[in-house]
Chains A and B, each alone.
Chain A
């Protein structure tokens, strides 16, 4: 039985490839996950636009580098979600990852359907208080999945 999933970081990236939210659950390594999210875009684009393109939302393992494995997901409206999992020597079941992605997608969906959240707040305004709920929800998902580390 593989150990429960643990999240190192979650990244939401806008259709224009701007970062929406990059949430790190490990202290002191925030920048690294920015890079992970950014480089993941390459693989995501390759999977979605490349010759072997598919219409699946779940893009699977994007790559493994250093000590993390990056998983990708693209919503029908082209918001990309990247998960950074710690690279352990165990099987990561797709179903669990898909479940996590769906929960994250739903969290984003709920947050963006807030009528008091104006659209021009979207890309840059994630740091603002309006998105607090969204951040909390993402943290909750991470906690529920098994990442017990305190978000930084």
Chain B
């Protein structure tokens, strides 16, 4: 931008002249303090009035405030009605409109001093427009003139008291003085008004007055007077300002600008109109224009062509529009001017190239281009801006070819660079304030970014013109730098030309040559690249790696190299190479390395040269390149000495390509301690690199700790046949551990590699300690003259990844490789031998429930080492329902895991035994036990009397401490029942009378009423179901009476404990019977609750082992069965004695019970006497019982007199419930003959035979009744 006049680029704004604020001019000051003209005082807060005149500080602050309103800048898109304020002397004179005075008669035909028509003008006769014209309008001619004046104020009168009458004389004097001063002031204003009116400039007067004055009633009249006298406008022409604070001054400045903006715009509009008139007049009179007005003295020079005039007028109108802040209008006029200018450039007749006017026009065109681009950018029309800029460059590139300054000249590139740079600078300025750069991401499909402005044209068309995509200024700086590089190239070329053809011819061939010679191209390039680099860095997002900046850094480094600052360049190269190496961009690295190498060459840094050469050999593309690089290396090595003699130079190739492809292959992934692990290490030269000239002296292969490194020493191959082979095999035998006394010898090998040659080092390694084993590093050592260069290689590096396939050389004649199927062959793991342990479990399956089932674990040490054994036992949770289990081991008891049962140290050949007990109960089924036997080998120090142990055994015992093995075993144990029980339950009704309905004792807690529940008789049959014989030691019924049931007696109660003591074989059974009295509550009966058995049988038994031994005592418990509650409705119980005596009356009783919960019963009883009956009955024959309420009973008795002997039938007693029958007989209307036909028959139960089984009871009451009915009760009548 500096290459263009700033006037042509700066953003124009209305100009305001401020006069009367000159700090040097002391107004009629009453202050006696010396006035300091410096600004520093005015910056301080308002000084106290006692020390300073408030007006002085006011003026100083006003100057600051007004000057800070707007800064002239190239990028200023805001339209805030702000003025360019210029402080001027109050007597400033405007430049003359014309050279002649208005009185002169030639005035009307004369032109402005800047017009091309005025002979003294710099533009005479055919100039277009000059920066001085803009300067005239920005610095010399305002649109608004603001004059600051001090309003006269008489010194204040200090009245002594408010009651004092004012002195009339003094008042009069004061008024006169005011009038006189105001008149003077008005005259001054009027004089200024005259000059501004001539130019159509708005004049505004600001009167400075004290705050006291503002309240003065005479102020208004005075102001009116002044305005009238001075002829000021009525609007926005007179302001009064009193000393106020700075912030208020800002407001004042703002309001001043707002008020005066319109007159300013009007002023520039008038100018525009004038210019447009001229242009129109001119375009109508194109043909007749130039000749008559051409001044006589300039006949030789051609006057300005009509196109030129158009450019001039359009440009002026554009400027005036810009002053007014009308960007669109300005853009339009600039474009018109630009178009016309292009037409002018198109013809060499109009603008002959390489003339002064041509150069001026070029500058003008460039400046207009910048303005147009800028106006587009203001409006966020990025692509339009760029498209204009690009077409400008393209057009001028075309023109340049016509002018003979095409791409082959440095002028062309200088111009191009300038264009790029101007754009870059414009964007940089813009981005510092308001310009936002588009991201250029495709707007399609994905969400439209809310924040970034979407360009209009990208929305319309499904694509964009890449050259119109606005990027950050770094790109344009970069382009400028590139163009400058070209410029330098062309310049150097022309310099060569001039050297050849002689200076005079060369200089004349390129006109700007002398100037160009002075230009320091390289620093220019460097500056541009550096700027670009900085901008790129600024715009780099944090996520990216800065590859773009690296690329620019590479260019910078190159430029440094060109300008022979090699040390700086090297620093750049180092940094750049790091990333390129990491990301394997070899094609980019190679030119970098070669430039770097030449830097090192220039600096004479031999070691760096060597390092770089080695890396370059590793990256060489073909044989020739690698050969020539090796020659270079040898030359360097032979011709120089290392800086530090004795120390080898280490060239670390870890980050870059290796010299040799290395691959390490172990035959097996794992070996035992002491076993040998065979390995092959192959060192190969890539097929495209010839390393045969490299003076490799030795190769050192370093293993993991504890081994002597293997050194291969070069010895040229004598065997011709072997030399022809592509693969050479070197056997190194066993790798020596470090604690061997003698160091291994160096092994001779042919260490020269032709392309694709492979050296396979084959050997074996063994370890006394477990752990991984591998090759740590492979150092290739070059030695030539004084140089020793060490190049560490890692095992398993290569140029191409494909060669890393692990292959094992199986045969050398012919060469045959075996591909190993493993992924990682580059290391071997050494492990201990597994411990030899024999473990056996012995037990007598199946296990029985409730038995402590012994499992004998027997561990025998079959190994040669002493082993410390510990056993963990885990009882797996069983899947069988209702099963519970636990294990007992060494006094520990657990239902899950028992850990760390120690068997102690077992010597070789010795065995140890422990017993594990499993107890299962509940349900049979398989139980599972996991046993883990951990063995740790220990050095049996007690056994080794040999105290003179070598230090090695201490290390090995340290290792042995971690030499552990684990053996896992799972045993499944079937479990079956030892005894099984079956119960038979029968229920008997109670003969006891039911308690009366309202008997209070029934609600007491401890009442035992079995009248309803009766008695349950439980017969338990216990069968021996174990697969082996059992010894039953005892059987006991343990009573656990509850509120509903209690055991009355049991057969096991009688007799001694040992009645069962006997051996029982499978299938044997024994039995026990018990009686249980039930006392259910009524609600429990209704809910059909079950009564838990009131006790359990406890059987104590032992298993009889096969040898006749007895096992451990075990106890099995069987709970009594749950009991049902019998449920009855209406029932009749017949109590008949078993025997009777002939002719002796025998009482028979019938109890009718209504056990129905809510229904009362209406019962009739009939005693059927059959003639064949063996009885004579005394008692009721036929009758009806009183209504039986629920829960009540009625007892009837008869006397039977047997008349026959033997088992005789009891007379049939028929009990009917006629509750249902009664309504039927009445409903018929006819009284029936007998009621015995109707009604429901009620069971008559002989209590002697009342035996209801649980199963029968379950089936239902009817079935019960039927079983009872069948059995006809009899009495044995004895004589």
Contact = CB atoms under 8 A, between A and B. Distances in A.
Contacts of B588: 31, 34-35, 38
A116 B993 CA distance: 102
A60 B370 CA distance: 28
A29 interface: no
Q: How large is the interface on A (under 10, 10 to 19, 20 to 34, 35 or more residues)?
A: 35 or more
B545 A65 contact: no
A124 B587 contact: no
A114 interface: no
Interface in A51-71: 51-52, 54-56, 58-66, 69
A140 interface: no
A74 interface: no
Contacts of A61: 440, 442, 464, 466, 469
B548 interface: yes
B551 interface: yes
A66 B467 contact: no
Given A18-B583, A42-B547, A120 B804 contact: yes
A56 B544 contact: no
A30 B587 contact: yes
Contacts of A30: 587
A145 interface: no
A141 interface: no
A16 B585 CA distance: 12
Nearest to A33: B587
B544 A45 contact: yes
Given A49-B543, A58-B442, A123 B466 contact: no
B461 A93 contact: yes
A82 B1252 CA distance: 97
Nearest to A53: B543
Nearest to A66: B482
A40 to B, nearest CB: 8
A152 interface: no
Nearest to B439: A52
B388 to A, nearest CB: 12
Interface stretch (B326-334, B795-803, B890-898): B795-803
Interface string A68-104: 0100000000000000010111111111110000000
A64 B466 contact: yes
Contacts, number: 142
B441 A54 contact: yes
A39 B533 CA distance: 13
Given A87-B466, A93-B463, A46 B543 contact: yes
A76 to B, nearest CB: 15
Contacts of B479: 65-66
Contacts of A121: 801-802
A97 B588 CA distance: 27
A46 B462 contact: no
Nearest to A60: B442
B821 interface: no
Given A52-B449, A128-B802, A91 B540 contact: no
B551 A39 contact: yes
B465 A92 contact: yes
B455 to A, nearest CB: 12
A120 B546 contact: no
Residue of A45, A88, A124 contacting most chain B CB atoms (<10 Å): A124
Contact of A59 (B441, B547, B583): B441
A122 B547 CA distance: 23
A52 B449 CA distance: 9
Contact of A89 (B391, B439, B801): B391
B92 to A, nearest CB: 50
A34 B583 CA distance: 12
Residue with the highest number of chain A CB atoms closer than 10 Å, among B390, B439, B479, B544: B544
Contacts of B804: 120
Contact of B547 (A41, A50, A64, A124): A41
A60 B454 CA distance: 14
B102 interface: no
B543 A50 contact: yes
B1276 interface: no
A142 to B, nearest CB: 18
A30 B585 CA distance: 13
A82 to B, nearest CB: 12
A42 B544 contact: yes
A54 B446 contact: yes
Nearest to A86: B466
A107 interface: no
B1097 interface: no
Interface in B1094-1120: none
B444 interface: yes
A135 to B, nearest CB: 16
Contact of A39 (B469, B548, B802): B548
A22 interface: yes
A125 interface: yes
A148 to B, nearest CB: 21
A50 B541 contact: yes
Contacts of B583: 16-18, 38
Interface string A106-129: 000000000000101111110010
Nearest to B390: A89
Nearest to B588: A34
Interface of A: 2, 16-19, 22, 30-31, 34-35, 38-39, 41-43, 45-47, 49-52, 54-56, 58-66, 69, 85, 87-97, 118, 120-125, 128
Given A34-B587, A42-B546, A93-B462, 19 more contacts: A19-B587, A34-B585, A38-B580, A45-B543, A45-B545, A46-B543, A46-B544, A56-B444, A65-B478, A65-B479, A85-B466, A91-B464, A94-B442, A94-B463, A120-B801, A120-B805, A121-B801, A124-B800, A125-B802
19 contacts: A39-B547, A39-B551, A42-B544, A45-B545, A46-B543, A54-B441, A59-B441, A60-B441, A60-B442, A61-B442, A62-B440, A63-B471, A64-B469, A87-B466, A92-B464, A94-B463, A94-B464, A118-B802, A120-B802
CB-CB nearest 10 A-B residue pairs? A69-B466, A60-B442, A93-B463, A42-B544, A49-B543, A124-B800, A46-B541, A94-B463, A42-B547, A18-B584
